[in-house]
Structure 1
């Protein structure tokens, strides 16, 4: 297990890189869960953030959340309606440590 500082926020991830290595953190948009209250789940990472963009395309919505760093989340239109996801709203974004892909950054 690794802890990664992303703009002062600590993300827990499964990674084989050494302590001190600079990495980029990649999370698939459909691997991020949204909730109105702080979830109690096995997800190691949970951040409260502000919804800064909602884009609807077909039966899906792309939600951009600012948690001190930006997350792009993909949810069904029905889920977005049930959670009343609107620009400016607060939401918890959660994801598992196993859902993170890290890539070493060279030259930083």
Structure 2
């Protein structure tokens, strides 16, 4: 056994090969439709549990309609998976209310 030697070979452990360093994820561009805030709120009501509805009642309602449920990993929100995918193509239309000018320099 050698006393003054390093058991780890530093030259081999400090080298790191970059893996997928400059990779981009390509996705399809989908057109987003602008709808009124009232219609957007109606679509959201179908996706998420209602205010007075318990989680078990929401799960039972989705099970009766043979729908898949999705749990958001970031915020732990429960929603209907198919309806949420359909909701992604819509964006609520907000009126300008004359706060900012439309003219560009």
TM-score of Structure 1 vs Structure 2, range by shorter chain:
under 0.3
More helix by share: 2
Higher RCO (C-alpha 8 Å, min separation 6): 1
TM-score by length of 1: 0.22
More strand by share: 1
Q: Which has the larger radius of gyration?
A: 2
